[in-house]
Structure 1
Amino acid sequence: MRKIGAIAASAVLAGLIILCQAGCIALRKGIDDGMETSGDAAAREGWMVIIDAGHGGVDAGKVGVNGEEEKDINLNISLKIKKLLEEQGVKVKMTRNDDDRLAESQIEDLKARVSIMNKEKPDLVVSIHQNSYHEETVRGAQVFYYTDSAQSERAAELIQAAFREADPGNTKKAKGNSTYYILKKTEVPVVIAECGFLSNREEAAKLADEEYQQEMAEAAAKGVMQYLEGE
Protein backbone atom coordinates (compact mmCIF):
# COMPACT_ATOMS: atom_id res chain seq x y z
CA MET A 1 0.00 0.00 0.00
CA ARG A 2 2.85 2.33 0.84
CA LYS A 3 4.44 1.55 -2.55
CA ILE A 4 1.20 2.36 -4.38
CA GLY A 5 0.86 5.60 -2.42
CA ALA A 6 4.40 6.61 -3.30
CA ILE A 7 3.73 5.94 -6.99
CA ALA A 8 0.54 8.00 -6.87
CA ALA A 9 2.37 10.86 -5.15
CA SER A 10 5.09 10.75 -7.79
CA ALA A 11 2.48 10.85 -10.54
CA VAL A 12 0.80 13.87 -8.98
CA LEU A 13 4.16 15.62 -8.60
CA ALA A 14 5.04 14.90 -12.24
CA GLY A 15 1.67 16.24 -13.32
CA LEU A 16 2.22 19.43 -11.34
CA ILE A 17 5.66 19.89 -12.92
CA ILE A 18 4.17 19.48 -16.42
CA LEU A 19 1.42 21.97 -15.63
CA CYS A 20 3.97 24.42 -14.27
CA GLN A 21 6.11 24.10 -17.39
CA ALA A 22 3.06 24.59 -19.61
CA GLY A 23 2.07 27.65 -17.63
CA CYS A 24 5.56 29.12 -17.95
CA ILE A 25 5.53 28.53 -21.71
CA ALA A 26 2.11 30.17 -22.02
CA LEU A 27 3.26 33.10 -19.92
CA ARG A 28 6.43 33.48 -22.00
CA LYS A 29 4.37 33.38 -25.19
CA GLY A 30 2.02 36.02 -23.82
CA ILE A 31 4.95 38.26 -22.96
CA ASP A 32 6.52 37.71 -26.39
CA ASP A 33 3.23 38.49 -28.09
CA GLY A 34 2.94 41.62 -26.04
CA MET A 35 6.46 42.64 -27.00
CA GLU A 36 5.64 42.12 -30.68
CA THR A 37 2.54 44.25 -30.35
CA SER A 38 4.51 46.96 -28.58
CA GLY A 39 7.14 46.78 -31.29
CA ASP A 40 4.52 47.18 -33.98
CA ALA A 41 3.09 50.18 -32.18
CA ALA A 42 6.54 51.71 -31.76
CA ALA A 43 7.27 51.19 -35.44
CA ARG A 44 4.04 52.90 -36.43
CA GLU A 45 4.76 55.81 -34.13
CA GLY A 46 8.07 56.20 -35.95
CA TRP A 47 6.48 56.36 -39.39
CA MET A 48 5.75 59.71 -40.97
CA VAL A 49 3.79 60.46 -44.12
CA ILE A 50 3.19 63.76 -45.89
CA ILE A 51 -0.15 64.22 -47.61
CA ASP A 52 -0.05 66.91 -50.27
CA ALA A 53 -3.45 68.29 -51.27
CA GLY A 54 -2.82 69.68 -54.73
CA HIS A 55 -3.65 73.28 -55.74
CA GLY A 56 -5.57 75.64 -53.41
CA GLY A 57 -6.59 79.27 -53.07
CA VAL A 58 -6.83 81.05 -56.41
CA ASP A 59 -5.49 77.91 -58.08
CA ALA A 60 -8.61 75.78 -58.43
CA GLY A 61 -6.86 73.10 -60.43
CA LYS A 62 -9.13 71.32 -62.87
CA VAL A 63 -12.81 72.23 -62.98
CA GLY A 64 -15.19 69.34 -63.51
CA VAL A 65 -17.96 69.08 -66.07
CA ASN A 66 -20.42 69.61 -63.22
CA GLY A 67 -18.52 72.63 -61.88
CA GLU A 68 -16.53 70.80 -59.19
CA GLU A 69 -13.17 72.37 -58.33
CA GLU A 70 -10.25 70.02 -58.00
CA LYS A 71 -8.67 71.90 -55.08
CA ASP A 72 -11.67 71.20 -52.82
CA ILE A 73 -11.85 67.51 -53.66
CA ASN A 74 -8.10 67.17 -53.15
CA LEU A 75 -8.27 68.71 -49.68
CA ASN A 76 -11.31 66.70 -48.59
CA ILE A 77 -9.75 63.39 -49.58
CA SER A 78 -6.38 64.38 -48.10
CA LEU A 79 -7.89 65.22 -44.71
CA LYS A 80 -9.71 61.89 -44.67
CA ILE A 81 -6.48 60.02 -45.44
CA LYS A 82 -4.75 61.94 -42.64
CA LYS A 83 -7.40 60.88 -40.14
CA LEU A 84 -7.25 57.24 -41.22
CA LEU A 85 -3.46 57.05 -40.99
CA GLU A 86 -3.36 58.80 -37.63
CA GLU A 87 -5.82 56.23 -36.31
CA GLN A 88 -3.15 53.64 -37.20
CA GLY A 89 -0.51 55.51 -35.22
CA VAL A 90 1.20 57.10 -38.22
CA LYS A 91 2.41 60.68 -37.91
CA VAL A 92 0.96 62.76 -40.76
CA LYS A 93 1.88 66.21 -42.01
CA MET A 94 -0.08 68.19 -44.58
CA THR A 95 1.32 70.68 -47.07
CA ARG A 96 -1.95 72.59 -46.64
CA ASN A 97 -4.86 72.25 -44.24
CA ASP A 98 -7.22 74.79 -45.77
CA ASP A 99 -8.15 76.51 -49.03
CA ASP A 100 -4.89 78.32 -49.57
CA ARG A 101 -1.79 77.99 -51.70
CA LEU A 102 1.79 78.10 -50.50
CA ALA A 103 3.02 80.87 -52.82
CA GLU A 104 1.77 83.40 -55.35
CA SER A 105 2.90 81.66 -58.54
CA GLN A 106 2.37 78.05 -59.48
CA ILE A 107 6.07 77.23 -59.74
CA GLU A 108 6.83 78.85 -56.38
CA ASP A 109 3.94 76.93 -54.86
CA LEU A 110 5.40 73.66 -56.16
CA LYS A 111 8.85 74.62 -54.89
CA ALA A 112 7.41 75.33 -51.44
CA ARG A 113 5.72 71.93 -51.35
CA VAL A 114 8.90 70.14 -52.40
CA SER A 115 10.87 72.09 -49.80
CA ILE A 116 8.55 70.79 -47.07
CA MET A 117 8.89 67.23 -48.34
CA ASN A 118 12.68 67.30 -48.52
CA LYS A 119 13.03 69.00 -45.15
CA GLU A 120 10.73 66.64 -43.25
CA LYS A 121 12.09 63.49 -44.94
CA PRO A 122 8.95 61.35 -44.46
CA ASP A 123 8.72 57.66 -45.23
CA LEU A 124 6.35 58.51 -48.07
CA VAL A 125 4.69 61.48 -49.76
CA VAL A 126 1.24 61.10 -51.30
CA SER A 127 0.17 64.01 -53.50
CA ILE A 128 -3.59 63.99 -54.08
CA HIS A 129 -4.98 65.25 -57.39
CA GLN A 130 -7.84 64.74 -59.85
CA ASN A 131 -7.40 64.07 -63.54
CA SER A 132 -9.01 65.34 -66.74
CA TYR A 133 -9.04 64.32 -70.39
CA HIS A 134 -10.58 65.57 -73.60
CA GLU A 135 -12.55 62.33 -74.03
CA GLU A 136 -15.34 62.18 -71.45
CA THR A 137 -15.45 58.38 -71.46
CA VAL A 138 -12.02 58.07 -69.85
CA ARG A 139 -12.27 57.34 -66.11
CA GLY A 140 -10.54 55.66 -63.20
CA ALA A 141 -8.04 56.52 -60.47
CA GLN A 142 -4.37 56.20 -61.40
CA VAL A 143 -1.16 56.54 -59.40
CA PHE A 144 2.08 57.96 -60.79
CA TYR A 145 5.61 57.43 -59.48
CA TYR A 146 9.08 58.66 -60.40
CA THR A 147 10.48 56.31 -63.02
CA ASP A 148 13.84 55.80 -61.29
CA SER A 149 12.51 55.12 -57.79
CA ALA A 150 11.79 51.49 -56.91
CA GLN A 151 10.30 52.53 -53.56
CA SER A 152 7.92 54.99 -55.19
CA GLU A 153 6.94 52.36 -57.74
CA ARG A 154 6.11 49.86 -55.00
CA ALA A 155 4.00 52.40 -53.11
CA ALA A 156 2.20 53.36 -56.32
CA GLU A 157 1.43 49.74 -57.17
CA LEU A 158 -0.05 49.08 -53.72
CA ILE A 159 -2.22 52.20 -53.77
CA GLN A 160 -3.28 51.47 -57.35
CA ALA A 161 -4.31 47.94 -56.38
CA ALA A 162 -6.40 49.36 -53.53
CA PHE A 163 -8.04 51.83 -55.93
CA ARG A 164 -8.94 49.00 -58.31
CA GLU A 165 -10.36 47.00 -55.41
CA ALA A 166 -12.56 49.96 -54.44
CA ASP A 167 -13.63 50.44 -58.06
CA PRO A 168 -13.75 47.08 -59.90
CA GLY A 169 -14.39 48.88 -63.21
CA ASN A 170 -10.98 50.54 -62.99
CA THR A 171 -8.37 48.70 -65.07
CA LYS A 172 -5.60 51.29 -64.86
CA LYS A 173 -2.10 50.44 -63.66
CA ALA A 174 0.44 52.51 -61.74
CA LYS A 175 2.54 54.48 -64.21
CA GLY A 176 6.10 55.80 -64.15
CA ASN A 177 6.79 59.43 -64.98
CA SER A 178 9.99 61.49 -65.13
CA THR A 179 8.58 64.95 -65.92
CA TYR A 180 6.19 65.90 -63.10
CA TYR A 181 7.92 68.50 -60.92
CA ILE A 182 7.11 66.95 -57.55
CA LEU A 183 8.22 63.51 -58.71
CA LYS A 184 11.49 64.86 -60.10
CA LYS A 185 12.47 67.17 -57.26
CA THR A 186 11.41 65.28 -54.15
CA GLU A 187 14.25 63.35 -52.50
CA VAL A 188 12.05 60.81 -50.69
CA PRO A 189 9.57 58.21 -52.01
CA VAL A 190 6.64 60.08 -53.54
CA VAL A 191 3.54 59.24 -55.56
CA ILE A 192 0.86 61.33 -57.22
CA ALA A 193 -2.59 59.81 -56.78
CA GLU A 194 -5.08 61.01 -59.38
CA CYS A 195 -8.32 59.84 -57.75
CA GLY A 196 -10.46 60.07 -60.89
CA PHE A 197 -11.44 62.14 -63.92
CA LEU A 198 -13.39 65.35 -63.46
CA SER A 199 -13.95 65.28 -67.23
CA ASN A 200 -16.14 62.19 -66.82
CA ARG A 201 -19.60 63.30 -65.73
CA GLU A 202 -20.41 60.22 -63.66
CA GLU A 203 -17.02 60.05 -61.96
CA ALA A 204 -16.97 63.81 -61.32
CA ALA A 205 -20.28 63.53 -59.47
CA LYS A 206 -18.92 60.66 -57.38
CA LEU A 207 -15.71 62.53 -56.56
CA ALA A 208 -17.79 65.44 -55.24
CA ASP A 209 -19.69 63.05 -52.95
CA GLU A 210 -18.32 62.72 -49.42
CA GLU A 211 -19.09 59.02 -49.18
CA TYR A 212 -17.11 58.27 -52.33
CA GLN A 213 -14.29 60.55 -51.14
CA GLN A 214 -14.15 58.41 -48.00
CA GLU A 215 -13.88 55.27 -50.13
CA MET A 216 -10.98 56.76 -52.08
CA ALA A 217 -9.31 57.86 -48.85
CA GLU A 218 -9.66 54.40 -47.35
CA ALA A 219 -8.16 52.83 -50.47
CA ALA A 220 -5.22 55.24 -50.45
CA ALA A 221 -4.63 54.73 -46.72
CA LYS A 222 -4.73 50.95 -47.18
CA GLY A 223 -2.04 51.12 -49.85
CA VAL A 224 0.08 53.45 -47.73
CA MET A 225 -0.10 51.13 -44.72
CA GLN A 226 0.83 48.13 -46.86
CA TYR A 227 3.84 50.03 -48.13
CA LEU A 228 4.95 51.11 -44.65
CA GLU A 229 4.56 47.56 -43.35
CA GLY A 230 6.72 46.24 -46.17
CA GLU A 231 4.09 44.19 -47.97
Structure 2
Amino acid sequence: GALVIMTRETDVDLADTGLKGYSKRKVQDLKRRLDLINESEADFFATIHLNAIPSPRWKGAQTFYSTNFKDNKRAAKLIQDELRRNLENTDRKAKPANSIYLLKHTNKPGVLIEIGFLSNPEEEANLKQEVYQEKVAASIYEGILRYFTNEQKFWNK
Protein backbone atom coordinates (compact mmCIF):
# COMPACT_ATOMS: atom_id res chain seq x y z
CA GLY A 1 0.00 0.00 0.00
CA ALA A 2 0.85 3.64 -0.17
CA LEU A 3 1.33 6.05 2.68
CA VAL A 4 -0.55 9.26 1.86
CA ILE A 5 0.35 12.60 3.42
CA MET A 6 -2.36 15.24 3.12
CA THR A 7 -1.28 18.88 3.13
CA ARG A 8 -4.91 19.93 3.60
CA GLU A 9 -8.15 18.09 4.28
CA THR A 10 -10.42 21.13 4.32
CA ASP A 11 -10.71 24.32 2.31
CA VAL A 12 -8.53 26.23 4.78
CA ASP A 13 -5.06 27.47 3.86
CA LEU A 14 -1.91 26.77 5.87
CA ALA A 15 -1.10 30.45 6.49
CA ASP A 16 -0.91 31.86 10.01
CA THR A 17 -4.37 32.69 11.34
CA GLY A 18 -3.53 36.35 11.92
CA LEU A 19 -1.82 36.96 8.57
CA LYS A 20 -3.75 39.59 6.59
CA GLY A 21 -3.99 40.02 2.83
CA TYR A 22 -4.89 37.46 0.17
CA SER A 23 -1.49 37.56 -1.57
CA LYS A 24 0.48 37.17 1.66
CA ARG A 25 -1.73 34.28 2.78
CA LYS A 26 -1.41 32.57 -0.63
CA VAL A 27 2.39 32.84 -0.62
CA GLN A 28 2.71 31.51 2.93
CA ASP A 29 0.28 28.67 2.19
CA LEU A 30 2.23 27.62 -0.92
CA LYS A 31 5.56 27.77 0.92
CA ARG A 32 4.22 25.62 3.75
CA ARG A 33 2.77 23.05 1.36
CA LEU A 34 6.09 22.99 -0.50
CA ASP A 35 7.93 22.41 2.80
CA LEU A 36 5.57 19.54 3.68
CA ILE A 37 6.24 17.91 0.32
CA ASN A 38 10.01 18.46 0.32
CA GLU A 39 10.50 17.40 3.94
CA SER A 40 8.45 14.23 3.54
CA GLU A 41 9.85 10.88 2.51
CA ALA A 42 7.25 10.65 -0.25
CA ASP A 43 8.30 9.16 -3.58
CA PHE A 44 5.72 11.21 -5.50
CA PHE A 45 3.24 14.00 -4.91
CA ALA A 46 -0.09 14.89 -6.50
CA THR A 47 -1.62 18.27 -5.82
CA ILE A 48 -5.33 18.37 -6.66
CA HIS A 49 -7.20 21.57 -7.45
CA LEU A 50 -10.47 22.91 -8.83
CA ASN A 51 -10.27 25.43 -11.65
CA ALA A 52 -12.40 28.56 -12.17
CA ILE A 53 -12.22 31.33 -14.75
CA PRO A 54 -14.64 34.08 -15.79
CA SER A 55 -16.02 32.17 -18.80
CA PRO A 56 -18.40 29.22 -18.17
CA ARG A 57 -17.50 27.55 -21.49
CA TRP A 58 -14.34 25.75 -20.35
CA LYS A 59 -14.54 22.26 -18.88
CA GLY A 60 -12.54 19.14 -18.25
CA ALA A 61 -9.85 17.77 -15.97
CA GLN A 62 -6.21 18.35 -16.86
CA THR A 63 -2.90 17.18 -15.42
CA PHE A 64 0.12 19.48 -15.40
CA TYR A 65 3.77 18.58 -14.86
CA SER A 66 7.18 20.18 -14.59
CA THR A 67 10.01 19.04 -16.83
CA ASN A 68 12.36 19.16 -13.81
CA PHE A 69 11.99 15.39 -13.35
CA LYS A 70 12.07 12.97 -16.27
CA ASP A 71 9.20 10.83 -14.95
CA ASN A 72 6.78 13.74 -14.40
CA LYS A 73 5.61 13.65 -18.00
CA ARG A 74 4.97 9.91 -17.88
CA ALA A 75 3.06 10.22 -14.58
CA ALA A 76 0.97 13.12 -15.89
CA LYS A 77 0.11 11.31 -19.11
CA LEU A 78 -0.89 8.14 -17.27
CA ILE A 79 -3.15 10.07 -14.88
CA GLN A 80 -4.61 12.12 -17.73
CA ASP A 81 -5.21 8.95 -19.73
CA GLU A 82 -7.32 7.59 -16.86
CA LEU A 83 -9.22 10.87 -16.45
CA ARG A 84 -10.05 10.88 -20.17
CA ARG A 85 -11.11 7.23 -20.07
CA ASN A 86 -13.38 7.60 -17.03
CA LEU A 87 -14.82 11.12 -17.31
CA GLU A 88 -17.12 11.75 -20.25
CA ASN A 89 -16.51 15.51 -20.22
CA THR A 90 -12.71 15.44 -20.47
CA ASP A 91 -10.68 15.45 -23.67
CA ARG A 92 -7.75 17.53 -22.43
CA LYS A 93 -4.16 16.29 -22.56
CA ALA A 94 -1.36 16.39 -19.98
CA LYS A 95 0.58 19.62 -20.31
CA PRO A 96 3.99 20.89 -19.16
CA ALA A 97 3.80 23.82 -16.73
CA ASN A 98 7.21 24.85 -15.45
CA SER A 99 5.98 28.12 -13.95
CA ILE A 100 3.64 26.60 -11.34
CA TYR A 101 5.28 27.22 -7.96
CA LEU A 102 4.77 23.79 -6.38
CA LEU A 103 5.83 21.94 -9.52
CA LYS A 104 8.84 24.17 -10.05
CA HIS A 105 10.28 24.00 -6.52
CA THR A 106 9.71 20.44 -5.30
CA ASN A 107 12.60 18.06 -4.79
CA LYS A 108 10.67 15.01 -5.97
CA PRO A 109 8.49 13.95 -8.90
CA GLY A 110 4.85 14.98 -8.98
CA VAL A 111 1.93 16.52 -10.82
CA LEU A 112 -0.83 19.09 -10.42
CA ILE A 113 -4.31 17.89 -11.35
CA GLU A 114 -7.07 20.40 -12.08
CA ILE A 115 -10.11 18.14 -11.75
CA GLY A 116 -12.62 20.51 -13.32
CA PHE A 117 -14.03 24.01 -13.69
CA LEU A 118 -16.31 25.37 -10.98
CA SER A 119 -17.10 28.18 -13.43
CA ASN A 120 -18.85 25.69 -15.76
CA PRO A 121 -22.36 25.03 -14.32
CA GLU A 122 -22.59 21.46 -15.66
CA GLU A 123 -19.16 20.56 -14.36
CA GLU A 124 -19.80 22.23 -11.02
CA ALA A 125 -22.91 20.06 -10.64
CA ASN A 126 -20.87 16.93 -11.51
CA LEU A 127 -18.14 17.85 -9.02
CA LYS A 128 -20.73 17.97 -6.23
CA GLN A 129 -21.91 14.41 -6.93
CA GLU A 130 -20.32 11.60 -4.93
CA VAL A 131 -20.37 9.23 -7.91
CA TYR A 132 -18.43 11.73 -10.03
CA GLN A 133 -15.97 12.40 -7.18
CA GLU A 134 -15.35 8.66 -6.92
CA LYS A 135 -14.67 8.49 -10.69
CA VAL A 136 -12.15 11.32 -10.36
CA ALA A 137 -10.45 9.70 -7.35
CA ALA A 138 -10.36 6.28 -9.05
CA SER A 139 -8.87 7.83 -12.19
CA ILE A 140 -6.08 9.51 -10.23
CA TYR A 141 -5.46 6.31 -8.26
CA GLU A 142 -5.27 4.19 -11.42
CA GLY A 143 -2.91 6.65 -13.10
CA ILE A 144 -0.58 6.71 -10.10
CA LEU A 145 -0.75 2.91 -9.84
CA ARG A 146 0.21 2.61 -13.51
CA TYR A 147 3.11 5.02 -12.85
CA PHE A 148 4.46 3.03 -9.90
CA THR A 149 4.10 -0.33 -11.63
CA ASN A 150 6.10 1.06 -14.56
CA GLU A 151 3.36 0.09 -16.98
CA GLN A 152 4.73 0.10 -20.49
CA LYS A 153 1.38 -0.12 -22.32
CA PHE A 154 1.22 3.68 -22.38
CA TRP A 155 4.52 4.02 -24.21
CA ASN A 156 3.60 1.47 -26.88
CA LYS A 157 0.65 3.54 -28.15
Using structure 1 for the length normalisation, give the TM-score: 0.59
Number of matched pairs: 143
Q: Is the 8 A contact 1:143 1:156 kept in 2?
A: yes
Q: Does 1:153 align with 2:73?
A: yes
Aligned match of 2:132 in 209, 212, 225?
212
What is the aligned-residue RMSD (CA, Å)?
1.3
Structure 1 contact 130–197 (Cα < 8 Å) conserved = yes
What CA deviation, in whole Å up to 9, does each residue of 1:41-88 have, x standing for no partner?
xxxxxxxxxxxxxxxxxxxxxxxxxxxxxxxxxxxxxxxxxxxxxxxx
How far is 1:127 from its partner? 0.3
1:101 aligns with 2:21: no
Say whether the 8 Å CA contact 1:138–1:200 is kept in structure 2. Answer: yes
Where in structure 2 are there 5+ consecutive unaligned residues?
17-24, 152-157
Deviation (angstroms), 1:224: 0.7
**Structure with the largest fraction of helix:** 1
- Counterpart residue identity of residue 9, structure 2: N
Shift of 1:99: 4.2
Identity rate of aligned residues, in percent? 39
Amino acid at match of 1:211: V
Equivalent residue, structure 1, for 2:20: none
Aligned partner of 1:221 in structure 2 is 141
Aligned partner of 1:124 in structure 2 is 44
C-alpha contact (below 8 Å) 2:59/2:89 kept by paired residues: no
Bigger Rg, structure 1 or 2: 1
Q: Does the CA contact (< 8 Å) of 1:123 and 1:228 recur in 2?
A: no
Structure 1 alignment gaps of length 5 or more: 1-88
The TM-score, its normalising length taken from structure 2, stands at 0.86
